[in-house]
Amino acid sequence: MCGIFACHKHPEVHNFKPQALQLAKAIRHRGPDWSGNVIANDTILTHERLSIVGIDSGAQPLVNKEETLFLAVNGEIYNHRILRKQLKGDPHFKTHSDCEVILHLYPEHDINTPKLLDGMFSFVLYDKEKDRTIAARDPIGITSFYQGWSSKTPGAVYFASELKCLHPVCDKIISFPPGHVYDSATGKTTRYFEPTWWDGDRSPTNPIDYKLIRTTLEQSVRKRLMAEVPYGVLLSGGLDSSLIASIAARETAKARKAGVPVSNGATAQPNENVHVSELKHELVGIDDTGDLSTITALPELHSFAIGLVGSPDTIAARRAAEYLGTTHHEFNFTLQEGLDALRDVIYHLETFDVTTIRASTPMYLLSRKIKAMGVKMVLSGEGSDEVFGGYLYFHNAPSKAEFHKETVQRVKNLHLADCLRANKSTSAWGVEARVPFLDKQFLEVAMNIDPEEKLIKPGRIEKYILRKAFDTSDEPGAEPYLPDDILWRQKEQFSDGVGYGWIDVLKDTAEKMVTDEQMKNPKPEWGSDAPDSKEGYWYRCMFDEQFPAQCAPTVMRWTPKWSNATDPSGRAIESHAASYQKA
């Protein structure tokens, strides 16, 4: 992940530049490899770079040959090789960066440029000749992105990857809507992402196709291996991360078997050492066939897990890693280390949502360990529970129509929840998280399945169809993707799976930090958004200490549907206890 800060139409842009650079510095954790900036007319773009592709030549902001277009991007464009081939004429590329293709798409496709991109991204592009800025965010909001305005500079509009860049200068801030594009020429923000499943009131009818689910997810993982740096997988031992790890392990092995060059440019051999300074720089990305025609293979796949000592997730992750043959790294944290990190977690996450903070803290601690090992990119399993109704409260869905409607709503809100968690927990330490379950093509398949197939029925565990798609027990000679005890493992919320003591200590500490009187008389400025638990109250206070009031509307607080429980923990759902009692 990289970091962006930009301002269009600042009335005193040159005088503003020193402050703009300081604001950009606030997100240098997202891009510790290089800093860049450019001023054109009265617009300034700044960029903090994390180099993953085109590491020797992709410094930003990117500028076209004529020096009329300027671009700052946070993200990865997986289909950039295909897009390069489709460009008219003979465009001049200055870098090997996957993001530079956006500069050359814009003159041909204008405001429709984001529609063509397959990846995760947020970008700000400035057209000097037209004095025009367009900004866009990927379809689901995997990359964090915000837009702001200031009453002191009424004609200006600001953009940034995180709130901490904007609140010192903006008194109005929004989370930039995923799948949308902003055009300064009209002042409008319009939706460009229009998938067939977007209307949650329309219940799909497509029959289940297990092979299509499998092949589409495999393709999604394959394209996300586009990298010129060491990468790994986050492995909790649950279904989602274990499937991603399994596919990644297969793809890595396949690349080595085919003799694909490894990171140092040599033919892959067992136990080769890889050093960043030896990386081979080539154009990597999916080609016209949908395959990675050039992949920077690694000698081995690394997996990472974290939890309290003896936690459900670390035990299951160890089991999955042993089966998959990954080089596994297991880290333990103590309850006190988790508590000590909370304020920093809230600073980086920019939220006071209970679920997000609970789950983000272990992920934040793990990301620091991953960064220390020299790994810059990881694959993660976010999105599967939203797509397939994997959360335990889905057991209580009253109908297939309501089940589907809730999955659509959860996917639409991912940018305020799990995408925000994955993006900012890892970016806090200069690590990039990629999420294969949120691939556009995979969503088109999975979100159009008849929801009757997704319902949790007697004898059918949550996410049954996803598990079944990767169950090879009825395929003679096929190598299993996962052992049965992982493939059919009961769902754990991540904040539960790292160790039940984690949530317990958070509640116990909040009980000591917040009085009954405070709960009865919350801060007036919170209005109708007052926390409904002492834990939530505690987090909100820590948020308010670090962020002014204009940041709060960007936060979404979540509680499970179809349940009397107000606590978002999976253990609060009756089906969790019932399933374990049966076990």
Residue 91 token pair: 């465009």
Instruction: Return the closest-CA partner of residue 493 out of 391, 397, 410.
Output: 391
Q: In what order do the strands lie in the sheet with 132-137?
A: 62-63, 69-77, 119-127, 132-137, 180-183, 188-191
425 is in an annotated binding site: no
Residue pair 135/191 in contact by the 8 Å Cβ criterion: no
98 is in an annotated binding site: yes
Burial of 303 (0-12, 13-18, 19+ CB in 10 A): buried
Which is the catalytic residue, given 2, 7, 99, 419? 2
Distance (Å, rounded) from C-alpha 58 to C-alpha 74?
A: 12
| Partner residues linked to 38 by β-bridges | 45
**Residue holding tokens 């998280």?**
433
174 is in an annotated binding site: no
Q: How many other C-beta atoms lie within 10 A of the C-beta of residue 93?
A: 18
Residue pair 62/99 in contact by the 8 Å Cβ criterion: yes
Distance (Å, rounded) from C-alpha 23 to C-alpha 361?
A: 25
380 is in an annotated binding site: yes
Residue 159 token pair: 């953009």
Annotated catalytic residue 2: yes
Angle (CA) 252-255-260 rounded to 5° is 135
Residue 417 token pair: 């929840």
**Chain-centre distance for alpha carbon 568:** 21
Residue pair 232/302 in contact by the 8 Å Cβ criterion: yes
Distance (Å, rounded) from C-alpha 495 to C-alpha 307?
A: 9
Distance (Å, rounded) from C-alpha 193 to C-alpha 32?
A: 31
Distance (Å, rounded) from C-alpha 171 to C-alpha 443?
A: 36
Instruction: Return the closest-CA partner of residue 274 out of 284, 265, 264.
Output: 264
234 is in an annotated binding site: yes
Question: Please, how many CA atoms are within 13 Å of residue 497, restricted to the half-sphere of its CB?
Answer: 22
As annotated, the binding site for L-glutamine includes 98
Binding residues: 98, 234, 306, 380-381
- The residues carrying an active-site annotation are 2
- Which amino acids are annotated as binding site for ATP, given as ranges? 234, 306, 380-381
